[in-house]
Structure 1
């Protein structure tokens, strides 16, 4: 009887110890994950400021076009049914080839940017953030020169 009582007490003590170690391990692991995530975000966060913003889309390219659209003074652009499905297209890009259309948009972007800057010199291409294809980037740089 005494042996059983000692065995049960020892078993209860070991299970309590296991539970406490599990809780400690869990909280330590969560803290370490939070530290690693914080470090990752610190390393990957880019501090930059925008000097100019140029917006070209189916609703227009001028700031007033977009303001009229947001105030609902202008009708939203209609979708077109194309071979790959429905799409919104900029009226000034006429090509059906996606690569050529992207190059046209890059050239339009530079022209609109020059128009917005009103004769001021543009930043060098090295100071521009580009998220597009290499061929469109080449068209963008060529149009800037």
Structure 2
């Protein structure tokens, strides 16, 4: 066994698996992937399969010394890795109800719930902000403007 190859591969597989568990359990995807991933749970399952494939490759490529078993084991690991990558691609293509930007609407909805209609010319407060109406606001809009 060559530990200088096995240790980094197992660590990479562990990081991919942790990201996959987060995607499957919570729907959380790394920030750099959020724009591209439309179905985070499917994408997470693909990450878990890819992590399994990397561990499979380490097991059969570096630990097992029998040449016949080693050959078929690494070939199977490569096929599992391709399946994992294909599942990850499906997670990027499938529509899972996420917005195109990947941002949640929870924070804007909470903010909208804290803003109340303020009569023209009056001032009110929203946590952290002072809101006043001005003459720039037309009659048909929300009636709230920042100064």
TM-score normalised to the size of structure 1? Answer: 0.28
TM-score normalised to the size of structure 2? Answer: 0.28
Structure having greater relative contact order (Cα 8 Å, sep ≥ 6): 2
